[in-house]
């Protein structure tokens, strides 16, 4: 465990989001309603201008057109028509997989569109207000919104505080507070003001609002191919060219061997389609779209597919302590009296001094005194003669003057100074007690009293950050995945070290400033690592922009949301761990199905090559391990299997391969074992069964 150095961790709200943006879209691939709505889209995707974006499936389309022409020239050739039909179905199934994946996003986008309304904005011009259409607003305009108004555009609250209904975006029915001057100032166009009055400074142009971007992203209109996806497409295209050249050269060899009849253009087209990696070529786009869809279902909006993919490759996670690793509110854990004092006297004074303290820490002191020392919970109203001393940033103390006693509670230095000013003596063990609590990761609050016996320190309240349940296990999982976790906190190094050890993180950044966060990210990236972090404040924006995966909280400022490449609509900082898992699941799914596809192609050799050349080269019959009925049934069975396996794998592509936290080596062995071996075996079984069915059909068998 090492310290990295100094700031202040921004405060993180953690509201609970339940329903994803736009509502969770149910129904899998085989949902009849989903298929019906996706089929017209799949047919429109047969446009060559669209198909050319997928080189593998474009070759299948050309093969389908070629065999159609040849079949029309010989209408009585049942084999040619059968091959033609199944080649067209192969293309259609590939388009259908992509259409279904896009359809799930479009359903969510339709719900979001309902949240968009043409609003009339009350724009401030000088000292007057004018009503203008929301579409005429420009960046920098100031608009007034009161209870019942729809916020006309994205912006930041620059004046006032209000309760806002954001259910149209987050799905969370509970209203949220938006106020000026903090990290909860950002408002979204289309949301509704429920109370009070705010002035909003517009930060986006019409048509480029958060909802507009959400609609474009979730329906797939703005999805760009990721670097890994582009690289895989290049590999698939290269393999396709190689197999195309190989199939083209088969014709002269067949003529020389006297097997010209077995190598018609229809047979060669079928051979090419079966040998090129059509399975992964058909599913590649659907895998990427489904990865973004899984994030949307968890109320996370990824601004690009690149961000989702980068999440899967992340090797360093920067996590806020408050609200992410700990519950966010310190709780009173113990009353520690100084030598000569009693815990009961300390608890009584601590409870009295906290009655007017409405913070979670203050409430926890009152409750601890009641539960642990049997003190009745008193209320402010019972102490009519009391004079309450409010906490201020200058004094760093609060307290009460009642019944001839003056009680103070607060930071160590402030309370010690107060006691000295009253002429009192400082207990010899006060410093030792506060140091011990700090080293243990707690926050010490001194309690002092001035009465007839003079001013003196009674003891220390131990406030403790409570680490969320199960966090150590989550960090152990991340460690097994090879991911380093770094806790970011504004605490002093002693407190930060104790919390880091209790939570089980690998490292921590204490007293962190925005510059420190940026320096840490750059240092990790210089070592070849990908970094992910969360943030919600304007001071987090530079680090969010620098991180490979920057997750901005929806409750945060516009600057933070613009800087990040993901937005968590629930504003739950722990979501970063789920995002990494979804990213890894995307990469694993793509890798697993690529392995399955290539293994599939190897197995299909044993079905088609012997069927074509056995007559010319009887020795090749030893490769006919499946003992297929005839050359025609073997080729047709392989083509049918090639089409059906796409349909069979679509649910897996949309759902994703199950992710288990483990090392890369174990993951590779597992995928090779399941999807590599499975890809080799499945064609043997599938093609043989289809061949048996074909051979049993009268007139064919």
Residues that are catalytic = 320
Rg (C-alpha) for the chain, rounded Å, is: 34
540's CB contacts (< 8 A; 6+ apart) are: 10, 514, 517, 533, 552, 556, 560, 563
- The verdict on whether residue 540 carries a ligand-binding annotation is yes
8's CB contacts (< 8 A; 6+ apart) are: 490, 511, 512, 513
Give 508's DSSP letter.
Answer: E
- The verdict on whether residue 224 carries a ligand-binding annotation is no
- The verdict on whether residue 173 carries a ligand-binding annotation is no
Report CA-CA distances (Å) from 109 to 141, 150, 291, 395, 563: 28, 20, 16, 52, 23
- The verdict on whether residue 434 carries a ligand-binding annotation is no
Q: Dihedral of CA 254/258/263/264: which sign? A: positive
- The verdict on whether residue 397 carries a ligand-binding annotation is yes
Angle between helices 575-613 and 471-480 (to 10 degrees): 40
Residue 693, classed as helix, strand or coil, is helix
Q: How far apart are CA 635 and CA 610, in angstroms?
A: 10
- The verdict on whether residue 129 carries a ligand-binding annotation is no
226's CB contacts (< 8 A; 6+ apart) are: 288, 304, 305, 306, 308, 309
**Residue 6: Cβ-neighbour burial (10 angstroms; 0-12, 13-18, 19+):** middle
- The verdict on whether residue 357 carries a ligand-binding annotation is yes
Give 680's DSSP letter.
Answer: H
- The verdict on whether residue 398 carries a ligand-binding annotation is yes
152 close to 119: Cβ distance less than 8 angstroms: yes
Q: How far apart are CA 293 and CA 283, in angstroms?
A: 15
- The verdict on whether residue 524 carries a ligand-binding annotation is no
Q: How far apart are CA 586 and CA 597, in angstroms?
A: 16
Q: Which residues are annotated as a binding site?
A: 357, 361, 391-398, 409, 536, 540
Q: Which residues are annotated as a binding site for ATP?
A: 357, 361, 391-398, 409
Q: Which residues are annotated as a binding site for Mg(2+)?
A: 536, 540
């Amino acid at each position: 465990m090492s310290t990295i150095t100094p700031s202040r961790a921004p405060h993180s709200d953690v509201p609970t989001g339940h329903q994803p943006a736009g509502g969770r879209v149910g129904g899998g691939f085989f949902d009849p309603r989903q298929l019906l709505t996706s089929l017209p889209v799949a047919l429109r995707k047969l446009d060559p201008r669209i198909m050319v974006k997928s080189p593998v499936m474009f070759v299948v389309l050309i093969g389908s057109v070629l065999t159609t022409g040849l079949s029309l020239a010989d209408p009585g050739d049942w084999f040619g028509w059968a091959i033609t039909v199944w080649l067209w179905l192969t293309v259609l199934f590939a388009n259908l997989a992509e259409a279904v994946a896009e359809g799930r996003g479009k359903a969510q986008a339709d719900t979001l569109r309902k949240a968009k309304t043409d609003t009339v904005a009350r724009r401030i011009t000088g000292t007057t207000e004018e009503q203008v259409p929301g579409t005429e607003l420009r960046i920098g305009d100031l608009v007034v919104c009161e209870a019942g108004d729809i916020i006309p555009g994205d912006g930041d609250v620059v004046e006032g505080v209000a309760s806002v209904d954001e259910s149209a975006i987050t799905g969370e029915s509970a209203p949220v507070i938006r106020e000026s001057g903090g990290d909860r100032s950002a408002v979204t166009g289309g949301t509704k003001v429920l109370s009070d009055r705010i002035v909003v400074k517009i930060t986006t142009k019409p048509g480029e609002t958060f909802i507009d971007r959400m609609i474009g992203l979730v329906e797939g209109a703005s999805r760009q191919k990721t670097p890994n996806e582009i690289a895989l497409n290049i590999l698939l295209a290269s393999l396709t060219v190689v197999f195309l050249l190989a199939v083209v050269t088969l014709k002269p060899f067949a003529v020389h061997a006297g097997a010209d009849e077995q190598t018609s253009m229809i047979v060669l087209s079928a051979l090419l389609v079966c040998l090129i990696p059509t399975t992964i070529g058909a599913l590649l786009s659907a895998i990427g779209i489904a990865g973004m869809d899984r994030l949307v279902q968890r109320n996370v909006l990824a601004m690009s597919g690149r961000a989702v993919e980068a999440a899967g490759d992340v090797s360093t996670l920067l996590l806020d302590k408050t609200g992410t690793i700990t519950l966010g509110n310190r709780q009173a854990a113990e009353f520690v009296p100084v030598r000569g004092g009693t815990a009961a006297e300390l608890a009584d004074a601590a409870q009295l001094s906290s009655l007017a303290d409405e913070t979670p820490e203050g409430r926890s002191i009152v409750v601890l005194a009641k539960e642990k020392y049997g003190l009745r919970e008193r209320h402010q109203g019972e102490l009519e003669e009391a004079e309450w001393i409010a906490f201020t940033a200058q004094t760093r103390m609060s307290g009460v003057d009642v019944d001839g006693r003056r009680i103070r509670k607060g930071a160590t230095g402030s309370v010690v100074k107060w006691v000295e000013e009253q002429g009192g003596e400082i207990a010899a063990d006060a410093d030792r007690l506060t140091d011990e609590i700090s080293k243990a990761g707690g926050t010490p609050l001194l309690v002092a009293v001035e009465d007839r016996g003079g001013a003196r320190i009674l003891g220390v309240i131990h406030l403790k950050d409570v680490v969320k349940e199960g966090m150590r296990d989550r960090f152990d999982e991340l460690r097994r995945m090879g991911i380093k976790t770094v806790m970011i906190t504004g605490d002093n190094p002693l407190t930060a070290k104790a919390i880091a050890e209790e939570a089980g993180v690998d490292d921590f950044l204490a007293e962190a400033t925005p510059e420190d966060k940026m320096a840490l990210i750059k240092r990790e990236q210089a070592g070849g690592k990908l970094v992910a972090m969360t943030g919600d404040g304007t001071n987090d924006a530079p680090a969010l922009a620098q991180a490979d995966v920057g997750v901005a909280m929806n409750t945060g400022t516009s600057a933070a949301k613009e800087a990040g490449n993901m937005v968590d609509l629930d504003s739950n900082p722990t979501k970063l761990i789920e995002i990494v898992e979804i990213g890894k699941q995307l990469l694993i799914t793509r890798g697993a199905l690529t392995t399955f596809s290539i293994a599939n192609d190897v197995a299909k050799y044993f079905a088609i090559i012997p069927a074509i050349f056995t007559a010319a080269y009887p020795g090749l019959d030893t490769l006919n391990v499946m003992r297929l009925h005839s050359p025609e049934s073997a080729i047709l069975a392989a083509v049918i299997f090639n089409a059906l396996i796409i349909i069979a794998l679509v649910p897996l592509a949309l759902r994703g391969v199950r992710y288990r936290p483990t090392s890369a080596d174990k993951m590779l062995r597992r995928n090779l074992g399941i999807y590599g071996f499975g890809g080799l075996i499945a064609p043997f079984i599938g093609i043989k069964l289809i061949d048996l069915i074909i051979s049993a059909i009268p007139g064919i068998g």
